[in-house]
Amino acid sequence: MNKQLPISRRKIMKLASAGALWLANPLVLPRAHAQGIPKRFYVFCKPGGMYFSSWIKQGASGLEYGSAVQSLAPFKDKTMVVANMFNNVARDKHHHMRGMSTMLTGVDPVGSDTSPAGGKSLDQFIADKIKLDGSLRSLEIGLKPAGKVNGETRMVYDGPGAARVVEGNPAKVFDRVFSDLKTTGGAGASSVLDRRQRVLDRVNRHVKLLSNELVGEDKIKLDKHLATVETLEARLLKAIESSGGACAVGNPSAGLSVPEEADLLMDLAAQAFICGATNVGSFMISQGAGKLKYEWLPETAPYTKGMNWHGITHQLPRNTNEAKAWYVAADKWELDLLARFLKQLDETPEDGGTMLDHSVVLLCGEIRNPNGHAHKGMTWALFGGNATTNWKYNSWVKADSNLHQLHTSIGRAFGLPWDKFGKVNGHLAKIEA
């Protein structure tokens, strides 16, 4: 039930900053979506490939989960693994760069093989279809994203060579999604934070009164949103204080460990969906080839010594026990992040099911495995969307096809009248039940 609140959307928006924007969207003035299509689309990119012996396999009664992906097991009935795909557009050239730039676009890069993509990415086509008035077109988040833009560092594009901005600063993500506060005239951190806290407190008072007039699913959503935005605010304040209080010009990530920063960014991504601030987004760990260091993982510490994921995958013989332990530990940490995102969507009620049921989440990467660099035999996965699609959930689908046929099928699920994507004709009928 969507009950009209006794306070106008405009008034709440005028209260707006962190809490107001977040709290206004989900409950006031129900938003229209095309019937029978998912409401949201998200891309989670795990660059550098994956160690597949720790991955998901097809069992007698559905999917079976290896050691690295146990956190994804609760979503097995909303999961479809699509295996043995190939990216012919990448053509096994400049493996990470061309793999990344063509992965979601299906067309050749602009200029050289190392250049940015030559067309719009899948998520932005979907944004054209499902973006709603008053929301962000999409939200691109990265964990330690590269500053330089090239084929390896970006996957989301508005058009040829037009990479969308990836934000890795949690405070800036928070402000973009949940706040209209801007710092001007050299205002210091204390002034900005004081203003934000006053607005949040004011909104909380209004919302707690409104909560008493709601029942059922709407009340659950509102109470959960209120608690979560307060938690996010507190975590950001703590990070900013520990980094010297430089909110206006500094990076609060300096006060966070990499795992803490990753958790916060992933929570912000989930809450952006839950609050209705956007319905298309992406999360990328570092960049193509995997340039993140994993020094906090015990299994990786003996081998890191200043090297990142990419360097270590080429240093460690892939069949040794040490290499396996390293790969599995890194895979597990990254996929636990994805599970964190899925869990929040799946715990949010929506239309008789959950928000995950009405959202499609794509897990992807630019190459097959950490060391082999191949654009053949690639395995991706889809989560959610089960409320509106007829895909083969709780199953491992051997595609034996170009991965861009999967894109055509995803687009069709969102109501796009496609029979090809990029340079590749056809859709992937094998994923349909």
Condensed to tens digits (0 to 9), the pLDDT of residues 342-360 reads 999 999 999 999 999 999 9
- Across 210-306, the runs of DSSP E, i.e. the strands, are 280-285
Which conformational region is residue 62 in: left (phi greater than 0), alpha (psi within -120 to 50 degrees), or beta?
left
- And the tokens for 164? 């969308």
Length of the chain: 433
Task: Output Rg (C-alpha) for the chain, integer angstroms.
Answer: 21
CB-based contact 143:284 (threshold 8 Å): yes
The reported pLDDT for the residue numbered 21 is 37
Do the bridges between strand 359-364 and strand 139-143 make them parallel or antiparallel, or are there none, so unpaired? unpaired
Q: Contacts for 132-138 with beta carbons within 8 Å, 24 or more apart?
A: 132/31, 132/32, 132/33, 132/276, 132/279, 134/25, 135/25, 135/276, 135/277, 135/278, 135/279, 136/176, 136/177, 136/272, 136/277, 136/278, 137/278, 137/280, 138/164, 138/278, 138/280, 138/281, 138/282
The reported pLDDT for the residue numbered 140 is 96
Across the strands, what pairs with 284? 45, 142
Q: How far apart are CA 58 and CA 81, in angstroms?
A: 9
For 303, phi and psi rounded to 5 degrees?
-110, -15
Which ranges of 138-245 does DSSP label H, i.e. alpha helix?
Answer: 170-178, 189-211, 216-242
The reported pLDDT for the residue numbered 100 is 87
Residue from 283, 366, 296, 306 nearest 333 by CA: 296
Q: How far apart are CA 174 and CA 139, in angstroms?
A: 11
DSSP string, 29-75: SPPP--TTS-SEEEEEE-TT---GGGSEEEETTEEEE-GGGGGGGGG
Across the chain, which has 433 residues, the per-10-residue mean pLDDT values are 34 34 35 73 89 79 91 97 90 73 91 86 96 87 87 90 92 75 38 51 60 67 67 60 38 72 91 88 80 74 61 64 76 93 94 95 85 80 96 95 96 97 95 91
Task: Kindly state the greatest CA–CA separation across the chain.
Answer: 65
CB-based contact 218:1 (threshold 8 Å): yes
Domain residue ranges in the chain: 7-36+175-250, 40-169+261-272+280-431
Q: How far apart are CA 80 and CA 57, in angstroms?
A: 11
Would you tell me how many other CB atoms lie within 10 Å of the CB of residue 195? 15
The reported pLDDT for the residue numbered 389 is 96
Q: How far apart are CA 189 and CA 192, in angstroms?
A: 5
* Residue linked to tokens 């919302």: 207
Domain at 40-169+261-272+280-431: CATH code: 3.40.720.10
The reported pLDDT for the residue numbered 305 is 57
The reported pLDDT for the residue numbered 353 is 94
Would you tell me how many other CB atoms lie within 10 Å of the CB of residue 353? 14
Q: How far apart are CA 53 and CA 65, in angstroms?
A: 10
